[in-house]
Amino acid sequence: MSTHERHPSVVAVIGSPRPAGNTVALAGAALDELAERGARCSRVMLGELSIAPCRAHDACGEFAACPLGDAAAGALASAFAADGLILASPVYYENVSAQMKAFMDRSVFQFSHGVWLSAKVVGLLAVTAETGLDDALDAMARYVALSSDREIPVVRFGGHADAAGDAASDEALLAGARAMAGEMAERLGLSRV
């Protein structure tokens, strides 16, 4: 068994503009759980990257590289190559954040070139102060389906946190994120070390 098979890669694409927000705390708990089980974990912090909105180039499929030339290509390459993928977003206006939406929209380049997610499992994580939790999770689930040439198992977790930073001390939310990661770990063949 190769090192890659024993230590699958997991990438968390985090769509929060807050580097210490609720979404980051829950994604961190999920990544910690996966790392404890032997996964090689990394984060793509969309709020720290410059990713422009898609310009809907009619000839997208004919370009060798996206002409926008921003950080989207690197973020997408990481996400599409991962053995396990976490998509994490705060809920803004009943849906995913603008950062996550730009990332999702820019995946049209992959779609136009027949590049599909490699993930064996995807975890979807969303945090809201009020409403829109299911809408955001459903939007990310649709994204996974559109970005795949096969059915990928999806594990979902969402919760409520009233103020920025609340999730970091909410044991129920942290436990839910870890449980989601545990389900992902099982799909990746990882057991607790």
Q: What confidence tens digit (pLDDT) does each residue in 82-130 have?
A: 999 999 999 999 999 999 999 999 999 999 999 999 999 999 999 999 9
Strand-pairing partners, residue 90, are 127
Q: Compute the Cα dihedral for 154, 77, 96, 173 and give only its sign.
A: positive
Residue at 43: amino acid letter = R
Q: What is the pLDDT of residue 5?
A: 56
- The HSE-up count of residue 87 (CA atoms within 13 Å, CB side) is 29
Summarize the confidence of residues 43-57 as an average pLDDT: 96
pTM of the model: 0.95
Residue 84 near residue 63, CB atoms below 8 Å: no
User: Can you say how many angstroms the Cα of residue 136 is from the centroid of all Cα atoms in its chain?
Assistant: 12
Query: Which residue bears the tokens 């997610």?
Result: 117
Cα–Cα distance, 121 to 57 (Å, whole number)? 31
Which CA distances in Å does 98 have to 94, 104, 146, 182? Answer: 12, 10, 19, 28
Looking at the domain 3-187, which fold is it? Rossmann fold (3.40.50)
141-172 pLDDT, tens per residue? 999 999 999 999 999 999 999 999 999 999 99
Q: Domain limits of the chain?
A: 3-187
Q: Report the chain's mean pLDDT, rounded to a whole number.
A: 95
Cα–Cα distance, 113 to 145 (Å, whole number)? 16
